[in-house]
Amino acid sequence: MIMTKHQIHANTLIGYVRIKVSNMARSIAFYQEIIGLDVKEQVGNVAYLTAKGDVNPILVLEEVADAIVMPEPRPTTGLFHFAILVPTRESLGITLRHLLEKRVGIGQADHIVSEALYLSDPDNNGIEIYWDRPREDWKRDSWGNITMATDPIDWEGLLALAEQKPWTGLPSGTTIGHIHLQVADIEQAKQFYCDVMGFDLITNYGNRALFISAGGYHHHIGMNTWAGVGLPVPPANATGLDYYSLIIPDQAALDATIARLGEAGAEVTKREDGYLVRDTSGISILLSV
């Protein structure tokens, strides 16, 4: 594993993801009936969604006027997908059975560290739903890097775990495990997230994709240039990512991270709920304790 000069707090996590949608009623129906989230609160054109019985939102929807629905593949920087982490393999099995019953088109992959399902919402926002294998079972190569792959999932094993257990939505304890971004330039993104913010570089796939994390996780943030290098930022009224939040569980560590960003010339705006920062691809991040 390549270590950085500065280290972001080891317990840094993704908090929530805020996305822009074109039709709130349609999106709420999708995220309730297909994904299995609850609407905790709706204020005007913004809705806050949680897992069953939980208090803190993991997804925020904002309906934008005169929305431009971005196609797939996305021709701009921004969201590739956000990843919902369920607490158990059984939870993923029940979700898989539910998606099959709803006849939702899904992709899938066994990443060795995790098993994952992939789909898109009505505005082409990418979604991953996954569970993690125990960290002690993760394998490392001779360089110490966490080994990941894109093997087929064990469909039968997952569905066997689901059996006849009822689907009641995403269970309490479901979180945003990671986020995957489309960036304009991999090297610039690496300098921003690793050299300045202090994330560890976990894997580099041919200088076209990076996976980085805090505290030894397989990845909190993925980034790629698979759709091209030098992509522009999206229009303000485009569907997709508004921003995602990073929770740094120590005020001193947050202050140090913000100071490094300022010294590096990053665009930082202080808000009541934290600091809004733009990365080198124009993607916004909310940092808070």
Residues 187-212: tens digit of each pLDDT:
999 999 999 999 999 988 888 999 99
Rounded mean pLDDT, 242-252: 97
Question: Is the pLDDT assigned to residue 92 strictly greater than 70?
Answer: yes
68 within domain boundaries? yes
Q: What is the chain's Cα-based Rg?
A: 18
**What is the number of domains present in the chain?**
1
Mean pLDDT of the region 154-182: 97
- Give the whole-angstrom CA distance, residue 40 versus residue 168: 16
pLDDT at 213 over 90: yes
Q: Within a domain: residue 1?
A: no
- Domain membership flag for residue 241: yes
Domain that holds residue 128: 13-288
pLDDT band at 11 (very low <50, low <70, confident <90, very high): very high
Q: Tell me, what's the pLDDT at 279?
A: 98
Mean pLDDT of 229-254: 97
What pLDDT is recorded for position 12?
A: 98
Q: For the chain, what is the mean pLDDT?
A: 96
Cβ pair 42, 273 in contact under 8 A: no
Q: Which of 116-130, 172-186, 202-216, 271-285 has the lowest mean pLDDT?
A: 202-216
Percentages helix, strand, coil for the chain (3-state, rounded to 5) are 20, 35, 45
Determine what percent of the chain is predicted with pLDDT higher than 70.
98
**In-domain check, residue 218:** yes
pLDDT at 1: 41
β-sheet bridge partners, residue 146: 140
How high is the pLDDT of residue 141? 85
Average confidence (pLDDT) over 158-170? 96
Q: What is the pLDDT of residues 96-149, one digit of tens each?
A: 999 999 999 999 999 999 999 999 999 999 999 999 999 999 998 888 789 999
Stretch 165-177: mean pLDDT: 98
14: pLDDT strictly greater than 90:
yes
Beta-sheet pairing, 59-63 with 13-21 = parallel
Amino acid at 270: K
**Residue 172 has what pLDDT?**
98
Q: Is residue 4 part of a domain?
A: no
Predicted confidence at residue 156, as pLDDT, reads 97
Residue 211 lies in a domain: yes
Residue type, 68: I
Is residue 5 very low, low, confident or very high in pLDDT (cuts 50, 70, 90)?
low
Confidence at residue 79, expressed as pLDDT on a 0 to 100 scale: 98
**Residue 237 belongs to domain with CATH number:** 3.10.180.10
Residue 8 within any structural domain of the chain: no
Q: Answer yes or no: are the C-beta atoms of 116 and 108 closer than 8 Å.
A: yes
pLDDT-based confidence at 6, cuts 50/70/90? confident
pLDDT at residue number 2: 42
Determine the average pLDDT of the residues in 44-61.
97
Per-residue pLDDT band for 81 (boundaries 50, 70, 90) equals very high
Tell me the mean pLDDT in the region 225-239. 97
Q: Report the 10 Å Cβ neighbour count for 124.
A: 15
Judged against a pLDDT cut of 70, whether residue 3 lies above it is answered with no
The burial class, CB within 10 Å (0-12 / 13-18 / 19+), for 160 is exposed
pLDDT (average), residues 16-23: 98
